[in-house]
Amino acid sequence: MDIKSVGVIGAGQMGNGIAHVFAVAGFDVMMTDISQDALDQAMALIRRNLERQVSREKISREDMETAMARITTTLKLPELGQTDLVIEAATERETVKSAIFEDLQPHLKPETILTSNTSSISITRLASRTDRPERFMGFHFMNPVPVMQLVELIRGIATDEATYKTLLGVVEKLGKTAASAEDFPAFIVNRILMPMINEAVYTLYEGVGSVRSIDESMKLGANHPMGPLELADFIGLDTCLAIMNVLHDGLADTKYRPCPLLTKYVEAGWLGRKTQRGFYDYRGEVPVPTR
């Protein structure tokens, strides 16, 4: 199938990045959210990020304006039904995602492909609640979307070959690299990354090291660009906890048990950068460890 138009559900951190890269690659994009403020903020952020690309001579100013013109916004989810490809990038809760697909289903074209940007939830299970499991896939972008090169493509048990090949072509057109993953909890990246972050939190919880010493050790000792606790704050501690719970529930192995300290931070509402506090406090000029 030739994909020309794309619907993006959710204007948050992932949704606006996805809209950005598709518009730059020449697709018509319609982005929706339940809040007009969220849509306005997303459009402003996309413009700022495109301006940054212009200043670094990655794209021309003309390319920027053309990309911005390709993005439209709406508060009405049914309007996305006429797009060729739908990418759901709502909050990482299965009930929310399933309800979105259920509301959208009556308005879809027969040939529209449905995808979810979920980082851990079963694609087979999400697909089974739609009228087109053969045209449903996991389409997992990395954050920040305009910068990160990888896209995980996850086939559910019913996904057909034509859908997979179509999305492989879309990833190529975006100038990114696809990694094909099987539909098991957290796929590839988060199956490996989240237990590492969780172990870093256990290391802090057990008093083996401080926030700063843990992050410095991994940056200078393993050549990681960000320490695991700094990265957890960037991702969102609620997202990290949700993925660890999916791993723990889905694989029934105690090695995936979320650290109690991670749970405690989420209970406190200290979710990282987005709430100004997590393993670091971001309310001053320089981030300060909170433990």
Q: Name the residues annotated as catalytic.
A: 119, 140, 152, 190
On whether 14 is known to bind a ligand per the annotation, the reply is: yes
On whether 274 is known to bind a ligand per the annotation, the reply is: yes
On whether 33 is known to bind a ligand per the annotation, the reply is: yes
Tokens read off for 28: 């018509």
Provide φ and ψ at 77, rounded to 5°: -55, -40
On whether 216 is known to bind a ligand per the annotation, the reply is: no
CB 31 within 8 A of CB 8: yes
CB 85 within 8 A of CB 170: yes
On whether 179 is known to bind a ligand per the annotation, the reply is: no
On whether 143 is known to bind a ligand per the annotation, the reply is: yes
SS3 per-residue string spanning 93-116: CHHHHHHHHHHHHHHCCCCCEEEE
| Cα–Cα dist 245/267, whole Å | 15
On whether 250 is known to bind a ligand per the annotation, the reply is: no
On whether 182 is known to bind a ligand per the annotation, the reply is: no
Angle at 168 between CA 165 and CA 173, to 5 degrees: 130
Residues annotated within a binding site: 10-15, 33, 92, 97, 119, 143, 274
Residues annotated within a binding site for NAD(+): 10-15, 33, 92, 97, 119, 143, 274
